[in-house]
Chain A
Amino acid sequence: MAPKAGSKMTREEELLLEGFNKNVSTKSSALFYGNAFIVSAIPVWLYWRVHTVDVAAYAIMFVIGTLVSTWLLAFAYKNTKHVLKHKLAIKREAAVTKEITKKLADDKKISKKKDERILWKKNEVAEYEATTFSIFYNNSLFLAIVIFASFYVLNGASPTVNYGLSIGSASGLIALLSTGTKS
């Protein structure tokens, strides 16, 4: 299946490589970072209203915390998505194949490219599902850890320690867990 030196890869090979590629498209990246930013910004509201921390006084801390946490969360999203995508692709293969076959059953002309279409569709479905599930999973873990850390573990600590440690440990832990290969 390996192409000869200098020859162009077939569409199939391209798609396969894309599937194993850890790089995300611009659109995916924007989705990840946007989501990560929103989720990282939510605890700031929590600290402002519930812990009654003066936002103006601690503005720099909140900004830095949000940015660091955004980056770590996006990192975790990417890793989790990558891990899930393969498994999802395998699981959804049967359903996607059935759907495409049904759609192209009548048209004999396109049936040649059927396999390519199936592969592409499978890739797309797996990508979408893995992305959304990765976001959901990491968000739920992040918020659970932040709530637990800031209200129970660090309840009496100063605002700096409370915010720094709960956001830091939550996003750090998620980033760490997402790099696990065995899951």
Chain B
Amino acid sequence: MLRFVAAAALLVASASAACTNPSVQASSYTPADSQVLAAIPFIAEFTLSCGNGEKPALYADIEGSLVPVTQSVDGAKYQVSWVKDVKKAKTGDYSVALYDSDGYTTLRRARENGEAANVAPLVTVVVSYPGSYSGPVFNSEHFALGLSALVFYLAFSSKSALLA
């Protein structure tokens, strides 16, 4: 009897660990200037409000791999981030699917078995990367050097012709 009650309680507990009516408020960051950067960081911070007040642990699907999402101590804020090489980072919107622990387990198992996963994410956040400034296209010192070298070459050839 006790074991049944305990099992039932556990079942109820795990059922209520799922987030109902999730709503997310997210803000994202990508650098605007990449002159001194080797890689672009993509950072998404969000708060998740659940109908039942849960603060579940989340997992994010970043380019095919599932990573745990950092959660603040009081569980109110989440942060997910990744980096990509400056040259390989494409502009546009990056959709990050977020799964709770059940979804994560299911998805991971499906992927390990090589099956197509049909797990719907709990929520999705979007990080938009409009591009970043990577430095001047045209280096004025190259131009200055080229011009001065050309002028000197003209002067030198005239001098040689004169003194010939």
Which residues on A are within 8 Å of B, measured CB to CB? 50, 83-84, 87-88, 91, 133, 136-137, 140-141, 143-144, 147-148, 151-152, 183
Contact = CB atoms under 8 A, between A and B. Distances in A.
Chain B interface helix/strand/loop/mixed = helix
A151 B149 CA distance: 14
A88 B162 contact: yes
A141 B153 CA distance: 9
B155 A91 contact: no
Chain A interface helix/strand/loop/mixed = helix
A147 B145 contact: yes
A148 B163 contact: no
Contacts of A147: 141, 144-145, 148
B5 interface: no
Contact of A183 (B154, B158, B159): B159
A151 B145 contact: yes
A84 B145 CA distance: 27
Contacts of A151: 141, 144-145
A133 B141 contact: no
24 contacts: A50-B141, A84-B162, A84-B163, A87-B162, A87-B163, A91-B162, A133-B158, A133-B162, A137-B156, A137-B159, A140-B151, A140-B154, A141-B155, A141-B156, A143-B148, A144-B145, A144-B148, A144-B149, A144-B151, A147-B148, A151-B141, A151-B145, A152-B145, A183-B163
A133 B154 CA distance: 12
Contact of A136 (B141, B145, B149, B155): B155
Given A50-B141, A83-B163, A147-B141, 13 more contacts: A84-B162, A84-B163, A136-B155, A137-B156, A137-B158, A140-B151, A140-B152, A141-B156, A144-B145, A144-B151, A147-B148, A148-B145, A183-B163
